[in-house]
Amino acid sequence: MLAAVWFVQAQDQLPVRGFCIGSPDASHVDAFVKFIDEELAPRQVNTLVLRIDYNYQFESHPELIDEGALSKADVKKMVEVCKKHGIRLIPQINMLGHQSWAGKLGKLLSVYPQFDETPGVKMPEKYKWPNDDGLYCKSYCPLNPDLHKVLFDVIDEICDVFESDAFHAGMDEVFYLGDDKCPRCGGRDKAELFAGEVNILRNHLALKNRQLMIWGDRLIDGKTTGMGAWEASMNNTYRAIDLIAKDVLICDWHYERADQTPVLFAMKGLSVVTCPWRKPDLAVKQTQDMFRFRQQATSELKERYQGMMQTVWSGASSFLDEFYGKKVNEIESQSACFKALFTEINKVSTVK
């Protein structure tokens, strides 16, 4: 018994206790600020990733502003409440992949069609998967010489307004990369193309002492692991794990099993955060694994096991409706997973 108590006391707090969600639209900012204040802060959440994309009134590139975009004042409300609670607020704009969703082209490629990696693939009237083009989401061409000027402008502006010391670049589920028909990328090594883009973004952010965060799926071998084309890579990008800068923080999402992939990242010298979605039992297992990895690691490896981050794939207003019971809350839901995750994190961290 004494040994068991000592074991728990020896546990430490996870460096990253995160929450990731689509940013609220302007009309839901106040409700979201209240949620940060009353629900995230008391659960000791210390990292909030907000998916912005072009949902902000960019001064540097007004042509990219999406409908109903957040104003600077909207963002500052969220900045202030996060400051009050010591929460690290981090904006996300999807880089490389996810430049379209279903039948809708994203803002970057609708304004700058010349950045499209696969201009020959037309957006369908009615999107269905699978389709003959293998169109999941569009990608931009990472070797277009005019691309990064635009991206760096919006990245810098969003990080400035968020007063953030980190940026999340997404980069998950990139299916179109090194397309044979692209005059710049065709025939190139996809792992090198992927790593090249990661490192360009990382180096730009490093100039202002900002950290890059990305999703981890492109760095896992989908064939050998059996994890497939979404959760891992079936297009040979996984060797990029050895080519990217070691200070990129990997957000390792697994929604079906408690895969032990954090060990892969940590042993490659990369820091990693495990991300559950909507299965409470799984989130608990993954949290216990994260504590166990830290406890059983060498001191070199331990600090690479950075913690946990709940991922919410709906927008903020829809999540808040679910969280506050305004719509039917099923056992496997994002809000149930979030509650279970932080109950577990705080149980292990605070038991005396």
| Interface pattern 167-206 for Zn ion (x via CB under 5 A) | ---------------x-xx---------------------
Q: Tell me which residue of 190, 117, 108, 186 sits closest to 149, measured CA to CA.
A: 108
C-alpha distances in Å from residue 140, one per residue of 50, 173, 193, 328: 22, 13, 12, 38
Q: What is the nearest approach in angstroms of Zn ion to the Cβ of residue 143?
A: 5
49, 109, 141, 283: which one binds Zn ion (CB under 5 A): 141
Report whether 50 contacts 90 (CB < 8 A): yes
Stretch that binds Zn ion, among 3-11, 139-147, 194-202, 229-237 (CB under 5 A): 139-147
Q: Torsion-angle region of residue 271: left (phi > 0), alpha (psi -120 to 50) or beta?
A: beta
- How many separate helices (H) and strands (E) can be counted in the chain? 13, 10
Task: Name the residue nearer to Zn ion (CB basis): 117 or 289.
Answer: 117
Task: Name the residue nearer to Zn ion (CB basis): 78 or 193.
Answer: 193
Stretch that binds Zn ion, among 3-11, 20-28, 134-142, 264-272 (CB under 5 A): 134-142
- C-beta contacts of 73-82 below 8 A and 24+ residues apart: 74/26, 74/29, 75/161, 75/162, 76/161, 77/29, 77/30, 77/33, 78/29, 78/32, 78/33, 78/36, 78/50, 79/161, 79/162, 79/163, 81/33, 81/36, 81/37, 82/36, 82/48
Q: What angle do CA 350, 285, 336 make, to 5 degrees?
A: 80
Stretch that binds Zn ion, among 117-125, 158-166, 276-284, 290-298 (CB under 5 A): 117-125
Stretch that binds Zn ion, among 31-39, 76-84, 133-141, 217-225 (CB under 5 A): 133-141
Q: What is the nearest approach in angstroms of Zn ion to the Cβ of residue 117?
A: 5
Task: Name the residue nearer to Zn ion (CB basis): 47 or 100.
Answer: 100
Stretch that binds Zn ion, among 68-76, 79-87, 137-145, 228-236 (CB under 5 A): 137-145
Q: Are strands 100-101 and 47-51 parallel, antiparallel or unpaired?
A: unpaired
Task: Name the residue nearer to Zn ion (CB basis): 143 or 301.
Answer: 143
Report whether 190 contacts 178 (CB < 8 A): yes
Q: What is the nearest approach in angstroms of Zn ion to the Cβ of residue 106?
A: 17
Let me know how long the chain is.
352
Task: Name the residue nearer to Zn ion (CB basis): 117 or 197.
Answer: 117
C-alpha distances in Å from residue 285, one per residue of 20, 201, 222: 19, 33, 22
251 binds Zn ion (CB under 5 A): no
Which token pair is 44?
């000791």
Q: What is the nearest approach in angstroms of Zn ion to the Cβ of residue 327?
A: 42
Task: Name the residue nearer to Zn ion (CB basis): 235 or 317.
Answer: 235
Q: What is the CA radius of gyration of the chain?
A: 20
Task: Name the residue nearer to Zn ion (CB basis): 141 or 320.
Answer: 141
Residues touching Zn ion, count (CB under 5 A): 6
Task: Name the residue nearer to Zn ion (CB basis): 162 or 194.
Answer: 194
Integer Cα distance of 115 and 133 in angstroms: 18
Q: What is the nearest approach in angstroms of Zn ion to the Cβ of residue 144?
A: 7
| Interface pattern 64-103 for Zn ion (x via CB under 5 A) | ----------------------------------------
Strands of the chain, DSSP E: 16-22, 47-51, 88-95, 100-101, 104-105, 166-170, 211-215, 249-253, 272-275, 305-311
Stretch that binds Zn ion, among 33-41, 115-123, 216-224, 251-259 (CB under 5 A): 115-123
Q: What is the nearest approach in angstroms of Zn ion to the Cβ of residue 187?
A: 11
Where on the chain is the footprint of Zn ion (CB under 5 A)? 117, 141, 143, 182, 184-185
